[in-house]
Amino acid sequence: QLQLVESGGGLVQPGGSLRLSCAASGFTLDYNRIGWFRQAPGKEREGVSCISSSAGIKYYADSVKGRFTISRDNAKNTVYLQMNSLKPEDTAVYYCAVNVYGRGGWCTVDGMDYWGKGTLVTVSS
């Protein structure tokens, strides 16, 4: 059974850093587009960053460009999101998700087929 498990969330002060990990089990990520999404209280889930199967293409939302870096280690079946210079507005539950069936937008909620349960990131002093 395909599972995605996020880790690495927590409480951090503004300007700080966190590294999120998403470990996949039940299938191999090698050939799939995978991404990070977030949902803040009262807001819709939004795409933060996505990476192609070969890591040759990366997408970042404008709000995180220059601060977040997505990467993948296919040997470990894991995707990472390095988050630097964190701001209070980055506070949200962060989810990883994978595109399996090739449908939907490149880094949109409807473009992903399987989701993890999320990890909470709180940026506050």
Cβ contact 49:70 at 8 Å: yes
pLDDT reported for residue 17? 98
Cα distances (Å, whole numbers) of residue 33 to 43, 57, 70, 116, 121: 24, 10, 12, 15, 23
What distance in Å separates the CA atoms of residue 55 and residue 57, rounded to the nearest whole number?
Answer: 6
Cβ contact 90:17 at 8 Å: no
pLDDT reported for residue 29? 82
pLDDT reported for residue 30? 82
Per-residue pLDDT of the chain (125 residues; tens, 9 = 90+): 889 999 999 999 999 999 999 999 988 888 889 999 999 999 999 999 999 988 789 999 999 999 999 999 989 999 999 999 999 999 999 999 999 888 888 899 999 999 999 999 999 99
pLDDT reported for residue 105? 85
